[in-house]
Amino acid sequence: MPDAVSFSSAQEGNLAKPTGPLHGMRVVEFAALGPAPMAAMLLADMGAEVVRIARKAPAGRPVAELFDPALDILNRSRHTVTLDLKRPEDIDAALAVIAQADVLIEGFRPGVMERLGLGPQVCLARQPALVYGRMTGWGQHGALAHAVGHDINYLALSGALHAIGGAGQPMPPLNLVADCGGGAMLLALGVLAARLHASQTGCGQVVDAAMTDGSALLMSMIYTLNAMGQWHQQREVNLLDGGAHFYGTYCCADGKWLAVGAIEPQFYAALLATLGIDDPAFQAQWDRAHWPALRAKLARIFLEKPRDAWCALLEGSDACVSPVLDMDEAPHHAHNQSRQTFIQLGGVTQPAPAPRFSHTPPATPRPPGVGEDCAGVLARWGVGADWLARLCPSP
């Protein structure tokens, strides 16, 4: 695999020597649900040193553990410390860590961190150059700022959910748009932009990342089409929502699916030529009135062969056709294997860090909970020796 797209060595000795473009950045993450853990994972993947502070529940189980912590991909490549944030002394320990940080990430509802004594005013007093990243669904202010919600609710308010799904019903696209795209990735971009400013000025700030804002931002192209009169509010009648016969999915003879994206005229022509279609009706590519009938014709054609037979004919050609792979199949596809798009950590198959860097490739991530040196990490982060035995007890 070429050096330009490779990861650093995954040997044990390399795990203690993080690499990547964010090597040297220190991040404190307050464990939460939703996109905040993914944002922290993105920064850790790029080489930042991330310490995750988990809150103790009454039974001693960290509050934010929804999944098995040993299998939770979003928790990879960081050290976790469990604190009782209702105890003043534990708050002091958290503030000692924050004082050494470049970035703080929290994903609680507005006001929670302030009530804990860990709000922006307190933390920026300890570390004036701190970037305080706040991840919420509705934002730190606004009519719904204190309301509960999940990805589907934030997506609904942005206009995005209405545009996604079949003709008869909006359909949530997993949690990819609001949580992951409009949430985690927007927060990661925001804290990096603010960190660049802080490194130049010494002035930290609060980054208010709201999933409603991010979901709306991701819809910029669709709002452009809407403003141009090229988007209809009905679903499955538009270019990118499955309405166009040349942009959508088709079932094959074996029940598996193909994705077709032959938008440009030359790619559309390649699709028709490769399929041997000479029906003149297909020449009216952009006549929306013909789309349903042409989609039905293509559907009948694709039902004639199994998916992989179509892939042998079409994949990699200018026809813009790809197999719709499930999560068991995707890691074994030749392209994904050639780019090492998926890796295995602790027996768990998962996406590799992205994007790729030619000069500062990130190291292979650490599995959750592997290679942790809690006392050593906290000592480097300014927590006194009297705390370490209690915070990181010996097994």
| Strands 321-323 vs 103-106: parallel, antiparallel or unpaired | unpaired
- Structural domain including 155 reads 3-219+341-391
Q: pLDDT band at residue 55, thresholds of 50, 70 and 90? A: confident
Cis check: omega of the bond before 393, within 30 degrees of 0: no
Whether 239 is covered by a domain: the verdict is no
Distance CA 262, CA 275 (A): 13
46 and 63 housed in the same domain: yes
Whether 226 is covered by a domain: the verdict is no
Whether 363 is covered by a domain: the verdict is yes
User: Quick one: pLDDT at residue 380?
Assistant: 80
25 and 136 housed in the same domain: yes
Q: Which residues are catalytic?
A: 150, 179
394: left (phi over 0), alpha (psi -120 to 50) or beta: beta
Q: What percent of the chain has pLDDT over 90?
A: 78
Cβ neighbourhood burial of 117 (10 Å; 0-12, 13-18, 19+): middle
Question: Which residue from 32, 46, 5 is spatially nearest to 365, judged by alpha carbons?
Answer: 46
Q: pLDDT band at residue 11, thresholds of 50, 70 and 90? A: very low
Each residue's pLDDT tens digit, 111-161? 999 999 999 999 999 999 999 999 999 999 999 999 999 999 999 999 999
Cα dihedral across residues 382, 386, 391, 393: positive or negative:
positive
Q: pLDDT band at residue 368, thresholds of 50, 70 and 90? A: confident
Count of alpha carbons within 13 angstroms of residue 251, beta-carbon side: 5
User: Quick one: pLDDT at residue 257?
Assistant: 98
Whether 267 is covered by a domain: the verdict is yes
Q: Residue 141 sits in a domain of what CATH number?
A: 3.40.50.10540
Question: Which residue from 207, 221, 242 is spatially nearest to 106, judged by alpha carbons?
Answer: 207
Each residue's pLDDT tens digit, 314-350? 999 999 999 999 999 999 999 999 999 999 998 899 9
332 and 361 housed in the same domain: no
Whether 242 is covered by a domain: the verdict is no
Query: Which is more confident, 388 or 178?
Result: 178
- Domain count for the chain, please give it: 2
298 and 261 housed in the same domain: yes
Q: List all residues 6 or more positions away from 206 whose beta carbon is below 8 Å from its beta carbon.
A: 120, 132, 134, 140
Q: Distance between the two ends of the chain, CA-based, in angstroms?
A: 40
Helix, strand or coil, per DSSP, at residue 214: helix
Q: pLDDT band at residue 392, thresholds of 50, 70 and 90? A: low
Cβ(65)–Cβ(37) below 8 Å: no
Question: Which residue from 62, 145, 8 is spatially nearest to 368, judged by alpha carbons?
Answer: 62
β partners of residue 169:
166
Whether 236 is covered by a domain: the verdict is no
348 and 327 housed in the same domain: no
Mean pLDDT of 268-278: 97
Is pLDDT above 50 for 1?
no
Each residue's pLDDT tens digit, 167-196? 999 999 999 999 999 999 999 999 999 999
68 and 214 housed in the same domain: yes
Place of tokens 């409603």: 212
This prediction has a pTM of: 0.90
Is pLDDT above 90 for 56?
no
For residue 231, which phi and psi values (nearest 5 degrees)?
-130, 130
The helix or strand, by DSSP H or E, that contains position 343, with its residue range, turns out to be: strand 342-345
Is pLDDT above 70 for 10?
no
Q: pLDDT band at residue 57, thresholds of 50, 70 and 90? A: low
Distance CA 360, CA 355 (A): 11
Cβ(184)–Cβ(73) below 8 Å: no
Average pLDDT, the chain: 90
Residue type, 369: G
Q: What percent of the chain has pLDDT over 70?
A: 88
Mean pLDDT of 202-223: 98
18 and 141 housed in the same domain: yes
Distance CA 83, CA 312 (A): 55
Mean pLDDT of 85-104: 92
User: Quick one: pLDDT at residue 385?
Assistant: 73
Is pLDDT above 80 for 246?
yes
| Strands 247-251 vs 169-170: parallel, antiparallel or unpaired | unpaired
326 and 358 housed in the same domain: no
Angle of helix 186-201 relative to helix 211-218, nearest 10 degrees, comes to 100
Cβ(135)–Cβ(209) below 8 Å: yes
Q: What is the largest CA-CA distance in the chain?
A: 81
Ordered DSSP codes for 101-140: -SEEEE-PPTTHHHHHT-SHHHHHHH-TT-EEEEEESS-S
Distance CA 7, CA 170 (A): 40
Cβ(21)–Cβ(48) below 8 Å: no
Question: Which residue from 40, 42, 35 is spatially nearest to 20, judged by alpha carbons?
Answer: 42
Place of tokens 């010996």: 394
Q: Residue 322 sits in a domain of what CATH number?
A: 3.30.1540.10
Q: pLDDT band at residue 14, thresholds of 50, 70 and 90? A: very low
